[in-house]
Amino acid sequence: MSELVTRVARRLRHAYAREEDPSSVGGHAAALAAFAGYTAAWAAAVLSRGRPLPERPEPWDLALTSVATFRLSRLVSKGAVTRPLRAPFTEYRGPQGPAEVHEEPRDGATHTVGELVSCPFCLSVWTVTTLTAAGLLWPRATRTVTGALTALAGADVLQLAYSALTEKVTGGDD
């Protein structure tokens, strides 16, 4: 498998030779291979349980999973409290928003991992895969987790709305 990834990475690097940083193509190819393996492992776990897949997702589960994916991906990739998880792969650049930080991937072998863990859009693909598979294996527990993450997202909206309203009413004076 690693030989195939290496060959594909070389071809992609050559095809993108005019890019500013063609070396990232190899890391992205490795990340795609890792994601394929991750997804295959979840699929095998779901299939081993022998439970049939639902005909279609339930709308309520889609809503919970969407909001939970957003919140968890943002918490892991931007949260100030989760900086220790990203620190080996990123460099701190400064605050970004309420309780969030801006980080850039470190150079070197861990650059692609740094991109993944500091980008909520990139991380959301892994997050939704995890939550979807977990929902197939452990539906009640997963609904509890996605419900809690959805409530957290709702609380965030209320906190931001409260701050904006307070600032408007007081004119920014404390």
Residue with tokens 């294996």: 137
pLDDT in tens, 16-48: 555 555 557 788 889 999 999 999 999 999 999
Of 25-39, 127-141, 146-160, which range is least confident? 25-39
Length of the chain: 174
pLDDT for residue 51: 83
pLDDT in tens, 2-11: 787 677 666 6
Q: Report the candidate in 95, 100, 102 with the shortest Cα–Cα distance to residue 81.
A: 100
> Is residue 164 classed exposed, middle or buried when 0-12, 13-18 and 19+ CB atoms within 10 A define those classes?
exposed
pLDDT for residue 4: 73
For the residues of 17-86, what is the DSSP string, one character each?
A: TTSS-TTHHHHHHHHHHHHHHHHHHHHHHHHHTTPPPPSS--HHHHHHHHHHHHHHHHHHHHBGGGHHHH
Of 1-5, 72-76, 140-144, 148-152, which range is least confident? 1-5
Beta bridge partners of 90: 105
Of 23-32, 34-43, 66-75, 138-147, which range is least confident? 23-32
| Whole-structure pTM value | 0.82
